[in-house]
Amino acid sequence: MCYAGVTRARPARAAGGRGGVALQDLDLVCGRLHDAGLRLTGPRRRLVAVFAGLGHWCTPAELYAAARAAGVPAGRATVYRLLEVLVEQGLCRVFAQRDRSVRYVFCGPGHHHHMICEDCGRVTEIAECAVEPPPAGFAVREHAVDFFGQCDRCQAAKT
Ligand SMILES: [Zn+2]
Ligand SMILES: [Zn+2]
Ligand SMILES: [Zn+2]
């Protein structure tokens, strides 16, 4: 029951494909955090739900603000610690920005790629993997492919 309080979190953006994460995925994520030794207090669980439901990338400060807006009493230290453990567990991707800020994307379990809108920050997961394996002789452990650009909504807003 890691998604306790999820109803008070900002709901995942409805339009434009999947935003947010299925509840069973959230359970899985919380299980992994628990196994990693993170004590999952109520606020922490709700913070995971807020992050997972965000549907766009965020700085730690933005996640903190989103948590506050959702009524989750999580301090800045809790936000940083959670992001740290999520990254360690491969449940969060980190993108360094040219302005030296760092943006985080919640990453549910299961292989997928991302489309990230650089205008509004919306993140859409792509479940289908069409990546060709490299030439023989290289033992691949993993690959990551992310597309950066402008989402359909931002394109429509500009025309
Ligand atoms: Zn992801
Ligand atoms: Zn956009
Ligand atoms: Zn792939």
Contact 63, 83 (CB under 8 A): yes
User: Considering the domain 6-158, what is its CATH architecture?
Assistant: Orthogonal Bundle (1.10)
What are the residue boundaries of the structural domains of the chain, listed by start?
A: 6-158
Closest C-alpha among 86, 29, 33 to residue 63: 86
Q: What angle do CA 61, 66, 11 make, to 5 degrees?
A: 150
- In the chain, what is the straight-line distance between the N-terminal and C-terminal CA atoms, in Å? 44
Which ligand is located closest to the Cα atom of residue 18? 1
What are the structure tokens assigned to 136, written together?
Answer: 């023989």
| Percent of the chain predicted with pLDDT > 70 | 86
Please report which confidence band the pLDDT of residue 4 belongs to, taking 50, 70 and 90 as the band edges.
very low
Ligand 3 mean position, distance from CA 146 (Å): 9
Which ligand is located closest to the Cα atom of residue 148? 2
Closest C-alpha among 41, 30, 43, 9 to residue 85: 30
Residue 17 pLDDT > 90: no
Residue 11 pLDDT > 60: no
Q: How many CB atoms lie within 10 A of CB 133?
A: 8
**Mean per-residue pLDDT of the chain:** 85
Q: Convert the pLDDT of each residue in 51-65 to its tens digit.
A: 999 999 999 999 999
Closest C-alpha among 40, 55, 123 to residue 86: 40
Scan for tokens 């549910």, then name that residue. Answer: 108
Q: What one-character DSSP code corresponds to residue 109?
A: S
Q: What angle do CA 58, 61, 64 make, to 5 degrees?
A: 95
Q: Convert the pLDDT of each residue in 29-80 to its tens digit.
A: 889 999 999 888 889 999 999 999 999 999 999 999 999 999 999 999 999 9
Residue 115 pLDDT > 70: yes
Evaluate the CA torsion angle 68, 74, 76, 82 in order and state its sign. negative
Scan for tokens 């989750």, then name that residue. Answer: 72
Ligand 3 mean position, distance from CA 77 (Å): 33
Ligand 1 mean position, distance from CA 55 (Å): 10
Averaged pLDDT, 117-121 = 95
| Percent of the chain predicted with pLDDT > 90 | 65
